[in-house]
Amino acid sequence: MILRGFADSRDGQIHYRTGGAPDAPVVAFFHQTASSSAMWERVIERLAGDFRCIAFDTPGFGASFQPESIPDLVYCADRIVEALDDLSIPSVHACGHHTGGCVALEVAARYSGRFDSLTLIGPVVANEAEKAEYRKTFVRPFTVDAEGAFLRTAWDYLRMIGAGADLDLHLREMVDHLIAHRTMPMAFGAVWEQDVEALLKAVNVPLMLMCSETDVLWPLFERACAVRPDATRSIVGGWDFQPDRDPDGVADALRRFLTGK
């Protein structure tokens, strides 16, 4: 059974989903933009027999509080650590997907000792030219209009990044994206300002890099592996929605990495 709850942070409450044994090692999950902790449910179900799993909604997404602004990913990292403190969780194995990986990197950089390991699905090691191209698609907000044209914009965007193969997934992501229509461009803007390569080089815990060949960030995966040749590598399926579309692959890779089995 997956339970839901709220933890306190300085600026508001952080929503989370959790499952597994309370006394098991903790795995914390961080979602992509503009999803929510719902994207981790199928992976949590597969890992709950071995781990205590907790998936957070980043500020501005899902059921977490809506901030006035997201100035940078340090802001998100600080609020997540405050939520961990409120839950009396001193350290976790972390798994972040796309933007969630960027948030996790900020936690690793600012709070030494909070992570026992780090897994990044779709690491965002982009150069300046690539960031400029990504800004054209992934920073533009879905501007709300009285005629509802933004609904088609959001629906088509989700189809483009791989949600369209599953109608339930497409609908769930549509709801999450509409909740985050204001904060989505803020989060993406913060991602493109982050020096992911420098943070990735500084990670000093066991590291796994994961991606699928159909992920929009696949072209950046080999670059991330070159930055950290010591990292465990894992190739899974699922386009940009690996935890939903290939939960067995993601869960099996995480279990092997965290247990050595």
**Could you identify the residue written with the tokens 């991330």?**
224
**Could you identify the residue written with the tokens 């090691």?**
125
Q: What is the CATH number of the domain that holds 110?
A: 3.40.50.1820
Give which of 56, 45, 1, 52 is closest to 27, Cα–Cα.
52
Q: Indicate the SS3 state at residue 12.
A: coil
Residue 219's CB is within 10 A of a number of other CB atoms, namely 11
The tally of domains found in the chain comes to 1
- Residue 182, domain member (yes or no): no
Q: What is the pLDDT of residue 40?
A: 98
- Alpha-carbon distance of 257 to 233, in angstroms, equals 10
**For range 204-210, the mean pLDDT:** 97
Q: Write the CA distances from 110 to 31, 120, 198, 227, 256, integer angstroms.
A: 19, 17, 13, 20, 27
- Residue 139, domain member (yes or no): no
Q: Could you tell me whether strands 13-19 and 52-56 are parallel, antiparallel, or unpaired per DSSP bridges?
A: antiparallel
- Residue 161, domain member (yes or no): no
β-sheet bridge partners, residue 15: 6
Q: What is the pLDDT of residue 140?
A: 73
Q: Is the pLDDT of residue 38 over 80?
A: yes
- Residue 11, domain member (yes or no): yes
Q: Is the pLDDT of residue 137 over 90?
A: no
Q: Could you tell me whether strands 26-30 and 13-19 are parallel, antiparallel, or unpaired per DSSP bridges?
A: unpaired
140-175 confidence digits (pLDDT tens): 777 889 999 999 999 999 999 999 999 999 999 999
Confidence label for 135 from pLDDT (cuts 50, 70 and 90): confident
- Residue 200, domain member (yes or no): yes
Range of the domain at 105: 3-126+195-259
Q: What is the pLDDT of residue 23?
A: 94
Decide: pTM greater than 0.95. Answer: yes
Phi and psi angles of residue 163, each rounded to the nearest 5 degrees, phi first: -80, -15
Q: Could you tell me whether strands 26-30 and 52-56 are parallel, antiparallel, or unpaired per DSSP bridges?
A: parallel
Residue 149's CB is within 10 A of a number of other CB atoms, namely 12
- Residue 12, domain member (yes or no): yes
**Could you identify the residue written with the tokens 């997907």?**
97
Phi and psi angles of residue 40, each rounded to the nearest 5 degrees, phi first: -100, 0
Q: What is the DSSP string of 194-257?
A: S-HHHHHHH--S-EEEEEETTSTTHHHHHHHHHH-TTSEEEEE-STT-HHHH-HHHHHHHHHHH
- Residue 149, domain member (yes or no): no
67-124 confidence digits (pLDDT tens): 999 999 999 999 999 999 999 999 999 999 999 999 999 999 999 999 999 999 999 9
Confidence label for 19 from pLDDT (cuts 50, 70 and 90): very high
Q: Is the pLDDT of residue 246 over 80?
A: yes
Residue 133's CB is within 10 A of a number of other CB atoms, namely 10
- Residue 138, domain member (yes or no): no
